[in-house]
């Protein structure tokens, strides 16, 4: 049993992968596959938040910024692809048919550039931002407020540049996705599968990071940053890695959100959207591996089922759930399972002599 224990999360990821990639497409209707794809996107962003917030202690309240970077990079590419070579996007023609394509749109005609940008843009932005903040030892509420403000700023910037970005109406009506017709059900399933596969990949990345020495160091930095400094590490660099990884994941989430949902507007990246991303993570359990992903999917599901059938009530239910979880399960629903498990574990392990394991695993950490 102890030999198996380190691999349990991996088995969990495997089961999750089978459910998403094999069972879901076989069982669900097109409508729900599309919805599930959307939840997968939020879950990808949530997995990153779990790393940065749950493991690294950085309350990233503005992941909408990176979600937006990925989403708009993808949306600009799909818009140009829909418009066809050398022609303007429809919304630009409506404003001014003679105006040239803005310079920053031009490179997004290329498939490769778009894909590279989806990964590299958040790396660049998060590195500069993170370096500046962490070197100056900005943390806690100040860090949270600052990231949140950036999400608001980006949303406002996009809203106010209607001619260049489509403003509040956003970018929509995409017909093609890298050559595939988006209306086709087969292609829709393919896009869903890509999103699901990316979610699995992100879970694997975070699983490895958590069990690595880096993961232990990140946890140590979260709990006693000054002590880590006195062991000869620069906590800023340790935090920066988690922050950048989380940013890339949010960007990938945004990029996949666009072909699945078919529209991106500033409302999807502003403060409320960013907070909703955090809410899922808090609900599921920020320090656990699956908690953030499952929490985000649950919130997404609530949003699209209850949120559309009973919009006024949904927001109260969400608030109530949030209060209850924060009060009684500060480490999220996943800690419920962990608590029961550790009680069983302890009662079974006490009588035996301490076992010298060759590779001890990091216990799921609760404060």
Q: 66 or 207: whose CB is closer to other proteins?
A: 207
Q: Can residue 184 be called a binding residue for other proteins (CB under 8 A)?
A: no
Which of 30, 223, 316, 330 lies at the binding interface for other proteins (CB under 8 A)?
223
Q: Can residue 328 be called a binding residue for other proteins (CB under 8 A)?
A: no
Q: Can residue 228 be called a binding residue for other proteins (CB under 8 A)?
A: yes
Q: Can residue 93 be called a binding residue for other proteins (CB under 8 A)?
A: no
Joined tokens for residue 69? 């970077």
Joined tokens for residue 324? 């209850």
Q: Can residue 1 be called a binding residue for other proteins (CB under 8 A)?
A: no
Residue 121: which of 133, 108, 135 has the closest Cα? 108
Smallest distance, other proteins to C-beta of residue 227, A: 5
Contacts of 49 (CB under 8 A, 6+ apart): 60, 63, 246, 250, 277, 278, 281, 286, 292
Question: What is the distance between the alpha carbons of residues 16 and 293, in angstroms, rounded to a whole number?
Answer: 11
Containing 180, the helix (H) or strand (E) segment is strand 180-181
Q: Can residue 141 be called a binding residue for other proteins (CB under 8 A)?
A: no
Q: Can residue 8 be called a binding residue for other proteins (CB under 8 A)?
A: no
Q: Can residue 213 be called a binding residue for other proteins (CB under 8 A)?
A: yes
Q: Can residue 245 be called a binding residue for other proteins (CB under 8 A)?
A: no
Which of 312, 347, 352, 358 lies at the binding interface for other proteins (CB under 8 A)?
358
Q: Can residue 119 be called a binding residue for other proteins (CB under 8 A)?
A: no
Q: Can residue 234 be called a binding residue for other proteins (CB under 8 A)?
A: yes
Q: Can residue 356 be called a binding residue for other proteins (CB under 8 A)?
A: yes
Smallest distance, other proteins to C-beta of residue 217, A: 6
Q: Can residue 359 be called a binding residue for other proteins (CB under 8 A)?
A: yes
Question: What is the distance between the alpha carbons of residues 166 and 159, in angstroms, rounded to a whole number?
Answer: 8
Residue 114: which of 259, 305, 9 has the closest Cα? 259
Contacts of 61 (CB under 8 A, 6+ apart): 144, 145, 147, 148, 151, 271, 274, 275, 278
Q: Can residue 275 be called a binding residue for other proteins (CB under 8 A)?
A: no
Smallest distance, other proteins to C-beta of residue 315, A: 35
Residue 257: which of 105, 103, 69, 130 has the closest Cα? 69
- Name the segment binding other proteins (CB under 8 A); options: 125-133, 163-171, 325-333, 359-367: 359-367
Task: Check: CB of residue 300 under 8 Å from CB of residue 38.
Answer: yes
- Name the segment binding other proteins (CB under 8 A); options: 93-101, 143-151, 299-307, 349-357: 349-357
Q: Can residue 211 be called a binding residue for other proteins (CB under 8 A)?
A: yes
Containing 177, the helix (H) or strand (E) segment is strand 176-177
**Number of residues in contact with other proteins under rule CB under 8 A:** 31
Which of 217, 275, 276, 336 lies at the binding interface for other proteins (CB under 8 A)?
217
Smallest distance, other proteins to C-beta of residue 17, A: 21
Neighbours of 362 (CB within 10 A): 13
Q: Can residue 2 be called a binding residue for other proteins (CB under 8 A)?
A: no
Question: What is the distance between the alpha carbons of residues 203 and 300, in angstroms, rounded to a whole number?
Answer: 18
Neighbours of 234 (CB within 10 A): 13
Q: Can residue 350 be called a binding residue for other proteins (CB under 8 A)?
A: no
Burial class of residue 353 (count of CB atoms within 10 Å of its CB; 0-12, 13-18, 19+): exposed
* Residue ranges binding other proteins (CB under 8 A): 208-209, 211-214, 216-217, 219-220, 223-224, 226-234, 354-360, 362, 365, 367
């Amino acid at each position: 049993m102890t030999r198996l224990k380190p691999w349990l999360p991996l088995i969990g990821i495997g089961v999750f992968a089978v459910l998403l990639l094999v069972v879901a497409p076989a069982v669900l209707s097109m409508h729900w596959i599309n919805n599930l794809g959307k939840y997968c996107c939020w879950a990808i962003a949530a997995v990153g938040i779990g790393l940065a917030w749950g493991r690294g202690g950085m309350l990233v309240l503005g992941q909408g910024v990176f979600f937006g970077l990925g989403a708009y990079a993808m949306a600009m590419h799909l818009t140009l692809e829909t418009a066809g070579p050398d022609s303007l996007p429809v919304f630009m023609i409506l404003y001014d048919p003679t105006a040239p394509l803005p310079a920053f749109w031009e490179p997004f005609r290329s498939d490769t550039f778009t894909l590279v940008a989806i990964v590299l843009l958040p790396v660049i932005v998060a590195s500069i931002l993170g370096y500046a903040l962490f070197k100056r030892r900005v943390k806690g509420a100040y860090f949270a407020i600052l990231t949140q403000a950036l999400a608001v700023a980006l949303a406002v910037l996009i809203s106010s540049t209607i001619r260049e970005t489509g403003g509040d109406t956003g970018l929509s009506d995409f017909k093609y996705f890298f050559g595939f017709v988006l209306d086709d059900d087969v292609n829709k399933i393919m896009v869903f599968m890509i999103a699901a596969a990316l979610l699995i990949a992100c879970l694997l990345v975070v699983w490895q990071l958590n069990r690595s020495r880096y993961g232990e160091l990140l946890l140590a930095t979260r709990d006693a940053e000054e002590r880590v400094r006195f062991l000869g590490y620069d906590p800023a660099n340790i935090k920066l890695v988690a922050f950048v990884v989380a940013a890339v994941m949010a960007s990938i989430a945004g990029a996949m959100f666009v072909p699945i949902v078919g529209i991106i507007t500033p409302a999807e990246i502003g403060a409320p959207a960013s907070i909703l991303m955090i809410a899922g993570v808090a609900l599921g359990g920020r320090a656990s591996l699956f908690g953030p992903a499952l929490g985000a999917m649950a919130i997404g599901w609530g949003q699209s089922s209850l949120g559309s059938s009973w919009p006024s009530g949904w927001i109260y239910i969400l608030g109530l759930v949030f209060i209850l979880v924060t009060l009684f399960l500060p480490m999220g629903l996943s800690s419920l399972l962990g608590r029961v498990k550790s009680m069983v574990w302890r009662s079974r392990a006490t009588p035996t002599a301490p076992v010298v394991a060759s590779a001890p695993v990091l216990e799921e950490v609760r404060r």
